[in-house]
Amino acid sequence: MSSESNVKLTLTLANPDLNAEEQDREARNLLREIKDLDVESAELVAVTEIPEGAKSVGGFLVGVLQAEVSLANFKKLLGYLGDRLGNKTIELEVEANGKKLKVKASSQEELNAAIEQAQKFIADS
Q: What is the pLDDT of residues 6-46, one digit of tens each?
A: 999 999 998 888 888 898 999 999 999 999 998 999 999 88
Interval 97-110: pLDDT, tens: 889 999 999 999 99
The full set of domain ranges for the chain reads: 3-124
CB 92 within 8 A of CB 9: yes
Model confidence band, residue 1 (pLDDT cutoffs 50, 70, 90) = very low
Q: pLDDT grade, residue 52 (50/70/90)?
A: low
As its CATH architecture, domain 3-124 has 2-Layer Sandwich (3.30)
Distance CA 92, CA 12 (A): 6
- In this predicted structure, what is the pLDDT of residue 16? 80
CA distances from 7 to 39, 76, 111 (A): 10, 12, 18
Residue 65 has pLDDT above 70, yes or no: yes
